[in-house]
């Protein structure tokens, strides 16, 4: 089955041109406005270059392909090729027209220099400004536990939460009295020993059948802390705290740190130490679970 290179090339060029025309040209501004008024689905289609290039490639592949194999190849290369062709045009001809003296950080307005990050056709002076921009974007409310009681991995941008070790967590608590350590282990684990001053809000409960996710976890945290509170999230070794940190970030909290190593330390399958925990490092430990920092007291205060 011969491949149809001219059909592929024609599809890539046509779809790239049509996508730019439909999404950016003043000639189609009225059409875009009309579609936005008539159909939210259509408005989303025009705003997404991936979606628009796919649907434009589909009829091209149907008209030009001689067989199923060529249909699939023309559709795939027309879809992705046109998208990357438009990105190349933007990088080579459009962004280069902007003088460096006119460029600045999209968040803090710092004057541009060569160390800046380029993301989504915008300049950011640091990863912190880039993450600040991402946090301002609309985030849909998604559950973090599915109907089977399993955790749903949250769609997060890289390093939306920070990883720190127990020593760094201790230093943060000592230097800032507003920093809060949340121990997300089960209540029995918390009662048998926890970092001094830590609150207990379990991400999972220990029951006869095993560990069961706590559906009230985010709600209890939200009822006691604002979304800009600096939260240190720790568990026994650092696994559950990752899930808890993801759940909090996806719910709008903006200053979350995952304490790697947790209370008991992290080890490999052979027992080799990966990260020493809070207790192993000899830091201050408290016992029992009858204070106002215990989960029963916190969930009562959340009602």
Q: Which residues are catalytic?
A: 235
Buried b or exposed e, range 92-121, using 16+ CB within 10 angstroms: eeeeeeeeeeebebbbeeeebeeebeeeee
The answer to whether 260 and 266 have CB atoms below 8 angstroms apart is: yes
Strands 162-164 and 256-259, how do they pair?
parallel
CB-side exposure of 209: number of CA atoms within 13 Å? 4
How far lies 19's CA from each of 25, 36, 50, 59, 80, in Å?
10, 17, 10, 14, 12
Q: Name the residue among 183, 272, 274, 180 with its Cα closest to residue 236.
A: 183
């Amino acid at each position: 089955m011969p491949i149809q290179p001219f059909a592929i090339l024609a599809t890539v060029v046509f779809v790239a041109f049509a996508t730019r025309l439909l999404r950016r040209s003043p000639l189609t501004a009225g059409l875009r406005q009309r579609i936005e008024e008539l159909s939210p689905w259509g408005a989303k289609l025009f705003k997404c270059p991936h979606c628009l290039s796919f649907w434009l490639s589909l009829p091209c592949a149907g008209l030009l392909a001689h067989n199923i194999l060529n249909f699939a190849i023309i559709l795939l290369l027309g879809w992705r090729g046109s998208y990357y062709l438009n990105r190349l045009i933007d990088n080579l001809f459009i962004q280069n027209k902007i003088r460096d003296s006119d460029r600045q950080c999209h968040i803090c307005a710092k004057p541009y220099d060569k160390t800046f990050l380029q993301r989504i056709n915008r300049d950011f002076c640091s990863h912190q400004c880039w993450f600040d921009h991402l946090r301002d974007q609309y985030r849909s409310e998604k559950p973090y536990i599915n109907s089977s009681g399993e955790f749903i991995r949250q769609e997060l941008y890289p390093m939306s939460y920070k990883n720190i070790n127990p020593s760094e967590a201790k230093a943060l608590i000592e230097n800032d009295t507003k920093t809060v350590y949340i121990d997300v282990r089960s209540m029995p684990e918390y009662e048998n020993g926890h970092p001094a001053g830590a609150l207990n809000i379990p991400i999972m409960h220990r029951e006869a059948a095993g560990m069961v996710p706590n559906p009230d976890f985010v709600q209890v945290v939200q009822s006691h802390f604002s979304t800009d509170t600096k939260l240190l999230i720790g568990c026994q070794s650092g696994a559950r705290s990752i899930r808890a940190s993801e759940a909090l970030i996806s719910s709008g909290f903006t200053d979350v740190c995952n304490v790697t190593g947790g209370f008991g330390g992290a080890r490999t399958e052979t027992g080799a130490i990966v990260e020493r925990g809070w207790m192993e490092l000899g830091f201050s430990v408290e016992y029992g679970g009858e204070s106002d920092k215990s989960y029963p007291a916190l969930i009562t205060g959340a009602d």
